[in-house]
Amino acid sequence: MATTNLSYYDKTTIPNAKTFRFGIVVSEWNPEITQNLKKGAIEAFLDCGATEENIISWDVPGSFELVYGCKKMIQSQNVDTIIAIGNVIQGETKHFDFVCEGVTQGIVDLNIKYDVPVIFCVLTDNNKQQSIDRSGGKLGNKGIECAVAAVKMAALKNIDRTSDSIGF
């Protein structure tokens, strides 16, 4: 469980994102959470040098559908990295476990199968307050943290294009 502000990053340690194309696939379930995560990710991309036209965003109905949305984006949009944004809150049934396990494994599988890093930005919290705290609340915004990871992974993916080292 995060205990520090997720929004802090040092831009001097992050590659410039100017030449990278980013994808964001966002679950429509719990939109007050997922839209805040998306907003944080886009703001961080822009702060790191990305251009608005190089950020593509698609919505899918729920977190389980993130895997398929990411796969289709990989196959059709020529992106350097993708952030999968979702929110699953523990309920009274095992549905939480099945969704979380399926999405997690699906994103792992995409990272193995394709040469496009997919960043896991799915909040899996015990209650709504924990999700609020991590999507722009007292613990910052996990979307920002995931955008920074996406920039770093885009640089790693394109190491031969950018230089011999990724500089972080």
Would the pTM count as exceeding 0.85? yes
pLDDT at 2: 44
pLDDT at 161: 61
pLDDT at 129: 97
Determine which helix (DSSP H) or strand (DSSP E) holds 133, and give its type and residue range: helix 128-134
Domains of the chain (ranges; CATH) run 15-162 (3.40.50.960)
* Helical packing angle, 31-47 and 142-157, nearest 10°: 50
Beta bridge partners of 85: 26, 121
pLDDT at 8: 87
Tell me the average confidence (pLDDT) per consecutive run of 10 residues in the chain, 168 residues long. 66 95 98 98 98 98 98 98 98 92 98 98 97 96 97 94 54
Catalytically active residues are 95
Is residue 40 within 8 Å of residue 47, measured between CB atoms?
A: no
pLDDT at 56: 98
Alpha carbon distance 145, 86 (integer Å): 14
pLDDT at 1: 39
pLDDT at 165: 54
> How many CA atoms are closer than 13 Å to the CA of 85, on its beta-carbon side?
36
pLDDT at 160: 75
